[in-house]
Amino acid sequence: MLSPESIAKIDYELTKYPSDRRQAAVMSALRIAQAEKGWLSKEIIAFVADYLGIPAIAALEVATFYNMYDLEPVGKYKITVCTNISCMLRDADQIVDHLQCKLGVGFNETTPDGKFTLKEGECMGACGGAPLFHVNNTKMHESLTPSKVDEILEGLK
Ligand code: FES
């Protein structure tokens, strides 16, 4: 279900924990699986759980708790905008409106070309850079303005 490369990465993560604590690697294993597959189907979550030797429900609980995991297909670029209090006070609504207008999609929707998915996120612990979003759970863009958003989107095309 996963490539040998992904399995090797999970095995490396497992070296960080005692051998009787394989469950500790579940977040990393799910991240690795998502990186390969693009999203986490129930079958992949079950595969990861089985590989770690934990109940499938234990992996599913983690996958459904954190919004970094995608339980359905997303676009090439998943943009997650923080709309929590600090970002809201720094005009996150304006950023959301601009993104929705530019992309023509709402939250939890993907552009018809499959390029962008827009998600709403909770506080990302980077309130000093509000308003902000991250792309594909990895690249954070802070102190956003509509024109800065345009530049970022242009760079993703
Ligand atoms: S409220 Fe947006 S990063 Fe904290």
CB-defined site of ligand 1, < 6 Å:
82, 84-87, 123-124, 126-127, 130, 132
CA atoms within 13 A on the CB side of 17: 16
Residue 96 C-alpha to ligand 1 middle, in angstroms?
14
Tell me how far CA of residue 14 lies from CA of 25, 57, 67, 95, 144, in angstroms. 6, 20, 23, 40, 38
**Band (144; pLDDT cuts 50, 70, 90):** very high
Domain boundaries, the chain: 4-65, 77-156
Summarize the confidence of residues 3-10 as an average pLDDT: 98
Render pLDDT for 39-75 as a digit per residue (tens, 0 to 9). 999 999 999 999 999 999 999 999 999 989 999 999 9
Supply the CATH classification number for the domain 77-156: 3.40.30.10
Calculate how far, in angstroms, residue 41's C-alpha sits from the geometric centre of ligand 1: 29
Taking 80 as the threshold, does the pLDDT of residue 157 lie above it? no
Shortest-distance atom of ligand 1 to CA 130: 2
Work out the mean pLDDT of the chain and round it to a whole number: 97
Question: How much of the chain exceeds pLDDT 90, in percent?
Answer: 98
Ligand 1 atom nearest to CA at 123: 4
Q: pLDDT, tens digit, for every residue of 75-134?
A: 999 999 999 999 999 999 999 999 999 999 999 999 999 999 999 999 999 999 999 999
Q: How far is the CA of 108 from the centre of ligand 1 (A)?
A: 19
CATH of 4-65, one of 1.20.120.550, 1.10.260.40, 1.10.10.1590, 3.40.190.10: 1.10.10.1590
In testing the pocket of ligand 1, which one of 87, 133, 142, 143 has its CB within 8 Å of the most ligand atoms? Answer: 87
Mean pLDDT of 9-14: 98
pLDDT digits (tens, 9 = 90+) for 22-36: 999 999 999 999 999
Tokens of 67: 């919004």
CB atoms within 10 A of CB 103: 19
